[in-house]
Amino acid sequence: MRLHFGLHFSEGTFPLPRQPQCAEWVVGPRPLLAWLERSLGLCVPDDHIEHLRTEQYRQALRRHLEEHPRAFYAAAFLADDLATAGALLQRRDELLLAGWGFALEPGLPDRLKVLADIHQYFSRDDSPRLSPGAADRQVAVMAALHRLPNPPREIIVYDAYSDCPPGVQRLLDSLQAAGIPLRYQSSPTPVGEHDLAHWQRFLRGEAGPRLLQADGSLLILKAQRETHIAGYLAQLLRHNTTFRPGILMPQANRTLDNALLQEGLPSLGVASSSLARPSLQVLKLVPVFLWEPLDPYKVMEFVSLGIKPLEDGLANRIAAFLADTPGLFSDRWFGMINQYLEEELPLRAQHRHELDAEAVRRQYEFWFRRRRADSTDGQVEKWEVREIFAYLQEWALDTYARHDDHPQTLLVLASQAGRIVDLLDELPETALRPLDLERIVRTIYEPAPVTYRPA
């Protein structure tokens, strides 16, 4: 097997091979690490546990502050403990990848000494363990590379060694020390004396600036608006069908993609929507039902969402009521709810067999008739918070399983709600403030998976 390794190869490569390649594999850092773990028989942990690791590190920082209240991170931890724990955990992983063993040695700088103290906390018998992250997994792989069965016959590296992060450099050094040949693919050398070749040499630092010859090899287009230049380029490609361009886009901008589609050309595959935006809105709004008094404006946002754990007909009636009468739990409110649940809902259920009238009643009871904490007190029991996010996770999975036409964003919602439940289970606190809930949701929210336009 021959491996082709690049720092960004996890995102796809171009051009694709014309013929199927046997025993040739294109990998980035994460796929390479996972392949080495499987080959060595090491346990492959779940990648999506950074929120749990952050909470575990937060608890370690809190224990450390009890013994060292003047630690350098004390003020930041007081302002935002989860964000501070995440930042220090990232530094800890970087130091681990760089080869530091967190040994307490004489003359150690103060901040490194603090990180070493925190690292020692996880080694105590009475302390919980820090779940392994990508850095811990890589260190374990490097220690076991000497017994790698059936190693690849060659690894071709497409990035300069000096451009690789220190952790990747150490992994490449370990692979080479284990007897696996590494070959660094050099960048193509510019050929010729035309403008394009000189510009390439200038970018490589091999030539200084000079006056271009305008020989047509390098074309720079300028316009007042990006839509104008995108439309021109799209028409240029439509009229020249023999062109086979490769387009490098530094940002995921859809202006050119839209222009190509208007000219009847294939899409570039630029991200068109985020699966996590609807789910993030739900995650941010469901905690409003924990507090008394219930905010009618937040309820209006909740019932107006496209994806929500509330039947659409009931949500529409509540939205119409709030638009006409901004208030909750009045006589008119209960009259509207009873009319819908007792009269309209049974009639709708007769024509829509998938509509469960009793399930709709339970949804209303869960969200609007639940026990709520006094907002002036500022704390809610943790088990109540866990209950609503566990309900949200179960609803998303059940809705996705029962209906074939529901979007993939329900799976994203179920995953994010499940991570919040896991994080709540790790918390030692028994009561939470509104700011704590906001930080938890922010910690769970990750860069959203995207859907692509069809080519």
Note the pLDDT tens digit of each residue in 160-193: 899 999 999 999 999 999 999 999 988 788 888 8
How would residue 19 be classed by pLDDT, with cut points 50, 70 and 90?
low
Could you report the per-residue pLDDT of 114-160, keeping only the tens digit for each?
999 999 888 876 777 888 999 999 999 999 999 999 899 999 999 98
Q: Which amino acid is at 116?
A: A
More confident position, 445 or 368:
368
- Between the CA of residue 428 and those of 19, 58, 161, 387, what are the distances in Å? 56, 11, 44, 17
Question: What are the residues whose beta carbons fall under 8 Å from the beta carbon of 329, sequence distance 6 or more?
Answer: 294
Q: What pLDDT is recorded for position 253? A: 74
How would residue 339 be classed by pLDDT, with cut points 50, 70 and 90?
very high
What count of Cα atoms within 13 Å lies in the side-chain half-sphere of residue 405? 0
Q: What pLDDT is recorded for position 278? A: 62
Q: Answer whether 0.75 is exceeded by the pTM.
A: no
* Structure tokens, 413: 């919602």
Q: What pLDDT is recorded for position 454? A: 46
Q: Where are the domains of the chain?
A: 2-45+137-184, 50-131, 221-268, 272-294+377-455, 295-371
Q: What is the dihedral of CA 209, 214, 220, 221, to 10 degrees?
A: 150
How would residue 449 be classed by pLDDT, with cut points 50, 70 and 90?
very low
**Beta carbons of 275 and 408 less than 8 angstroms apart:** yes
Q: What pLDDT is recorded for position 448? A: 43
The gap between the terminal CA atoms of the chain, to the nearest Å, is 32
**How far apart (Å, rounded) are the C-alpha atoms in residues 151 and 303?**
56
**How far apart (Å, rounded) are the C-alpha atoms in residues 406 and 402?**
9
